[in-house]
Structure 1
Amino acid sequence: MKIKSLFSLLPLVGAAFALPSTIDTTTFVSKVNANNSLTFKQPKLCDDTVVQYSGYLNVGTNEHYFFWFFESRQNPDTAPLTIWLNGGPGCSSMIGLWQELGPCRVNDDGSQAVYNTEGSWNQVSNMLFFDQPSNVGFSYGADNVHSSDEAAPLAYNFIQTFFEAFPKYQKLPFHFFGESYGGHYIPAFADYVLKQNQALSSSSKQVKVNLESIGIGNGLTDPLVQYQYYEKMACDSSYGSVLSDSDCQQMNASLPQCIQLGKKCYQTGSTSDCSDADDFCGSNIEGVYQNSGLSYYDVRTSDSIPSTYIKFLNSASTRSAIGATQSYSECSNSAGGKFGSTADSARNFAPRVADLLNNGVRVLLYAGDADYICNWYGNYAWSSQLNFTGSADYQSQSLKPWTLGGKEVGQVQAGSSLTFVRVYEAGHEVPWYQPAAALQMFTNHIANKPITS
């Protein structure tokens, strides 16, 4: 597709290493994996009321992932820890930090960081943002990642090294959230964490991750199902048609071949077959939307969300404060392009979601209903077809109104451990459009309460 005394509240780093208050940069080297290390600062940007860490986690051979952590404003010692990832593939999680659910915004002229008072999720959770793979955002390195599955072990290394460096957060409930291509990342990464947890022995030096839930916003998870709803979103959504009749007819006429190619991709798993599906469906169905002249991320407008934060992030003073050694770019074509070599985007990650559900991990799927590219119709459809232990319970339910402050802000369907939320009047980046609703949804979810409560 953003403390009263800082040093008095710092956790121990490693077994017996406390941060000295006379320096502002600290390096931690993992005792579990000598290749993993962490270099960080303690900035006070955006929210100077909480503990922050930012810098680089070296998670493999020449793989340097930039991260930024904010403690929760409420009960940070017991509040959950939530990781946030943006998608792409190849886009920075600083998008979530600065445009969506993070503590950071810039003022009108882009010269100063201010707190996101209306919708920052660190009001209720410790929040950890990181840029992956290498060469995305502030991250840098070899970038040998060509698929979501190749990215998963590095993300796991990231989590393990973070926990080793900051053991204070190891025992907290853990939630994995993401958006857009996060519909691939989050199921892949969380399921990898689950498998590693299951394989841990009593003598293992790895930390068990207390994985409680995942959340996916306007995600790409089950492409075969989701391709079948592009024409619906473009030609027959609640916002009306944005394409000509001939364009809509072309999309419909191309759908049988798209489905045939998508099924073959799912059956064989070959890169060639999945590339064929991705190319045909992308050109003849998804890509027809460009004729509308409207944003792929909001069918109501041709405008995009302003990225005024980029200039602020790239200033020398900001980079120094957060320990960023590279210039910042929002999305990397080179990093994202490598996923094309494995046709990763055409592959189905819904079975990973089912595996998580079958192992007690709660799942929240939410979608702004004005987004085209990962529209709510397609996301709702694949959730309705998902086969997992509690699927009968989920499928027996229906979408029900969700009100907030006396206003209907969306619809919710929940059954077993799966919840789907349609958010009214929101594009691809839901928290940008509906910050109060997004915060309430997140708050209820991490507390394991019904979204509608």
Structure 2
Amino acid sequence: MLYLCSVKLLFTLFSAALLKRQAFAQFLPLYDANLTTLNSPHDPNITISYKVPEGACKTAFDTQKQYSGWVRIPVEDESTNLFFWFIEAREPTPALTIWLNGGAGGSSMSGFWQENGPCEVVEKDKDNLEVKAREWGWDRASNMLYIDLPSVGFSYTTPITNGSFDSYNATTIFPPEPIPEWSSPWAFTNGTFSIPNPSTNTFTAAHLVWNLLQAFLLTFPQYNPPLNSSTGISLFAKSTTAPYAPLFASYFHSQNLALSNSSLPSSVLPIKISAIGLINACNIDPVSQAQSYATMATNNSFNLPLLTTEQASPIMEAFKTRGGCSDLLAVCRSDNPTGLTKDDQIQVCQQAASCMDSLTFPYQKYTSRSLHDISNPSFDPLPNQTYLTYLNSLAFLSALGSPINFTDLPPAYPPLSPDPIPALTSLLSQGVRIAMISGDRDYLCNWYSTQSTALRLASSLPSYSPFLNAAGYAQIYSNTTYIGGAVRQFANLSFSRVYDAGHFPSYSQAETLFEVFARVVLGDRSLSTGEEVELGGTFATEGDPEATHTAELLATNVPNPRCYIRKAAETCDDESTRAVLRGEGVVINGVWYNSSDDWQLPGQRDGTSGQDPTTTAVMTGIFTTSISASTETANSAPVSRQGSAAYGLSVVGVLAGALLL
């Protein structure tokens, strides 16, 4: 995750001397968490503590069960407490989906509240937030299990301690400090946090998550899919956490093998991953990623030159130069094949990660556009960040029984995983469905890079050569009136380009992302139409060999800026930063305004209304059509355009040959 913060501006405007002012007191009081705690049957040293988080999240139906809590796992002389939140599907299904968020270890609560979770936070009035069910939440098709990785979000390592959170530098400070002169009580707050554990690595994280799954599924066996189920367990991961998904799945597979040869006790459950979904993936194939930055900047599908050829030339120079990103990555991944975090290995990987981040500097220097969505301003107000205020309210924290405040990003986390391509290749050869999905307006983790990665993966397996020379791009039918993107699919491998979506495609194009997701987790489905097919055979989508569909970015869709105090580094421009740090204006529902008169209800704002389900929304159902015989190609004009806020569409009409399940 990159921060477009004005740190230099802050220190030039204000002295670095500290005033003896106390930050807003937000240390968590002692309260009864009311958690049920059990020893895990697979290991008595591991405990699971959980509760029903009453009132924290409104689901589509009151009958849907929810459980949130922590799995406590001893690690050397401390304990890691991994946070989970489970939501039962709206209709009975054996499918279980695990969600891991990105941002180099960002909290899965981001995906939960901003993109695909069962509920969302909306503004009801001034200083009044409300939680509503999300129409296109992924619980519409699957049981969902959201997990925070070690030292991320609500996960914590003991001991926990009081500290200060600096939202402009996105850091936690221990012990608590007075407010710096250059900051303000809005941007520098007290809280209770976990001290990050920099020794966490990919292998350790995989082992911890495996233990969480053991504890959860042994405690709630009714949510463990049958091993012979076509749906099974799916693992979806996003952005810079996407490489972890295949590495985790490979570790789970190795544990299954150990169980089969009696190297593990019989109380252990096999964890079989049936599908892996990679959403706007970064750091899987760095070579393709580096090349894609120049392509996206100079020759993108919106016919919008973002950089000149001269401005873009430093990108590949920085990657290929001696001692540059390519060399650093080679050392990082060759010297660190199992993800062990020795100090020297960590240092090289941190240098490699910093170098990869620097490849976006020309884009940031010469454009005023968001890394996450080229149609938005650099200080991007989307998706809505109001949930950060809600998650730090005492009412919410007590509903979860959380001993710590919520922060969106960890101060320290391993920046790069081992090379995930061998793991992806192995999993694909074992019959695991691999779905790569990208919004086409994302610059940071763009679709050109993901497409290249899919082609590279197919070329590594002779049996997948048809993905390269036979499969074409077919339209993704989101509903009866909208084409949401283009998909290239052969057998268990697919790449989907989602139209008019940025780094948060489930926010930008909620219905399309849901339909693609549902087709992936159900198994044996065409991602184009949702029809049942035999993926184990020779199924391939038909269409053009390239995804050449073009569109225009409409200036009328540019959202108004919003300065979210708890996400100040990414959302507050220089002008609002100056005012915030002078203590001017007001903060309403976590957003800074010049005056209270500037606040409006979400529906009155351009581009920031979110996806509130309407009273007539149909909250169940998956769209399927038999329109596969259509002569339209994936690169032809869509049937209609689905605007970034057009989520009230429910499929109640049926085309000839179309079907709702």
Asked if Structure 1 and Structure 2 have the same fold, meaning a TM-score greater than 0.5 normalized by the shorter chain, the answer is: yes
Q: Does the 8 Å contact 1:412/1:452 carry over to 2?
A: yes
Partner of 1:4: none
Q: Aligned partners of 2:421 and 2:154: how far apart in 1?
A: 30
Q: Aligned partners of 1:370 and 1:146: how far apart in 2?
A: 33
Question: What letter matches 1:381 in structure 2?
Answer: S
Per-residue CA distance 1:359-384 (angstroms, 9 max, x = gap):
11111110001111111000100110
The Cα shift of 1:281 comes to 4.0
Partner of 2:428: 357
Q: Aligned partners of 1:63 and 1:259: how far apart in 2?
A: 33
Partner of 1:116: 134
Which of 297, 305, 310 is equivalent to 1:246? 310
Partner of 1:141: 157
Q: What's the TM-score, normalizing by structure 2? A: 0.60
Q: Aligned partners of 1:39 and 1:415: how far apart in 2?
A: 42
Partner of 1:58: 72
Question: What letter matches 1:425 in structure 2?
Answer: D
Per-residue CA distance 1:206-226 (angstroms, 9 max, x = gap):
101232111010112122222
Q: Does the 8 Å contact 2:290/2:316 carry over to 1?
A: no
Partner of 1:294: 369
Q: Aligned partners of 1:392 and 1:380: how far apart in 2?
A: 15
Q: Aligned partners of 1:249 and 1:146: how far apart in 2?
A: 36
Q: 1:380 to 1:269 in 2, by over 3 A?
A: farther
Unmatched 5+ residue regions in structure 1? 2-22
Q: Equivalent residues in 2 for 1:19-34 (5 A)?
A: 25-34=35-44
Say yes or no: does 1:40 pair with 2:50: yes
Q: Aligned partners of 2:348 and 2:388: how far apart in 1?
A: 38
Q: What's the TM-score, normalizing by structure 1? A: 0.87
Q: Does the 8 Å contact 1:54/1:323 carry over to 2?
A: no
The Cα shift of 1:263 comes to 6.9
Q: Aligned partners of 1:320 and 1:423: how far apart in 2?
A: 38
Say yes or no: does 1:71 pair with 2:88: yes
Q: Does the 8 Å contact 1:412/1:419 carry over to 2?
A: yes
Per-residue CA distance 1:41-85 (angstroms, 9 max, x = gap):
11242213300001111133310111110000111xx33010101
Unmatched 5+ residue regions in structure 2? 2-32, 159-196, 227-231, 337-344, 530-661
Instruction: Tell me which structure has the larger Cα radius of gyration.
Output: 2
Partner of 2:210: 156
Q: Does the 8 Å contact 2:89/2:140 carry over to 1?
A: yes
Q: Please say which of residues 41-50 and 354-363 is displaced more in the overlay.
A: 41-50
Per-residue CA distance 1:213-244 (angstroms, 9 max, x = gap):
11010112122222221111122212312234
Identity %: 31
Partner of 1:398: 472
Q: Does the 8 Å contact 1:363/1:419 carry over to 2?
A: yes
Q: Does the 8 Å contact 2:47/2:215 carry over to 1?
A: yes
Partner of 2:381: 304
Q: Equivalent residues in 2 for 1:315-330 (5 A)?
A: 315-330=393-408
Partner-residue secondary structure (3-state), 2:243: helix
Q: Does the 8 Å contact 1:367/1:422 carry over to 2?
A: yes
Q: 1:107 to 1:357 in 2, by over 3 A?
A: same
Q: Aligned partners of 2:381 and 2:74: how far apart in 1?
A: 35
Partner of 1:16: none
Q: Aligned partners of 1:295 and 1:392: how far apart in 2?
A: 36
The Cα shift of 1:443 comes to 1.2
Partner of 2:497: 422
Q: Does the 8 Å contact 1:261/1:273 carry over to 2?
A: no
Say yes or no: does 1:168 pair with 2:190: no
Say yes or no: does 1:451 pair with 2:527: yes
Partner-residue secondary structure (3-state), 2:242: helix
Which of 210, 220, 234 is equivalent to 2:297? 234
Displacement over 3 Å in runs of 4+: 252-256, 262-282
Q: Aligned partners of 2:64 and 2:199: how far apart in 1?
A: 34
The Cα shift of 1:245 comes to 4.4
Q: Aligned partners of 1:273 and 1:52: how far apart in 2?
A: 42
Q: Aligned partners of 1:150 and 1:139: how far apart in 2?
A: 15
Partner-residue secondary structure (3-state), 1:333: coil
Q: Aligned partners of 2:388 and 2:353: how far apart in 1?
A: 31
